[in-house]
Amino acid sequence: MKTHNSFNPEDIFTADEPSLLLVISAPSGAGKSTICRRLLKRNPRLVFSVSTTTRPPRNHETEGVDYHFVDEQNFKQMIADDAFLEWARVHEEYYGTSRKAVLEELHRAKDVMLDIDVQGGEQIRKLYPDAVMIFIVPPDMDELERRLRARNTESEVEINRRLGNARMELKEIYNYDFVVVNDSVDEAVKAIESIRQAEKLRLPRIKEGLPDL
pLDDT in tens, 95-110: 999 999 999 999 898 9
91 band by pLDDT with thresholds 50, 70 and 90:
confident
What is residue 31's three-state secondary structure?
coil
Domains and CATH numbers, the chain: 16-205 (3.40.50.300)
Q: What pLDDT was estimated at residue 205? A: 76
How far is it, in rounded angstroms, from Cα 171 to Cα 163? Answer: 13
Residue 4, pLDDT > 70, answer no
Q: What pLDDT was estimated at residue 13? A: 46
- Choose the weakest-confidence range: 8-17, 41-50, 147-156: 8-17
Q: What pLDDT was estimated at residue 207? A: 60
How far is it, in rounded angstroms, from Cα 76 to Cα 82? Answer: 10
pLDDT digits (tens, 9 = 90+) for 71-90: 999 999 999 999 999 998 88
How far is it, in rounded angstroms, from Cα 167 to Cα 159? Answer: 13
Chain mean pLDDT for the chain:
87
pLDDT digits (tens, 9 = 90+) for 105-139: 998 989 999 999 898 999 999 989 999 999 999 99
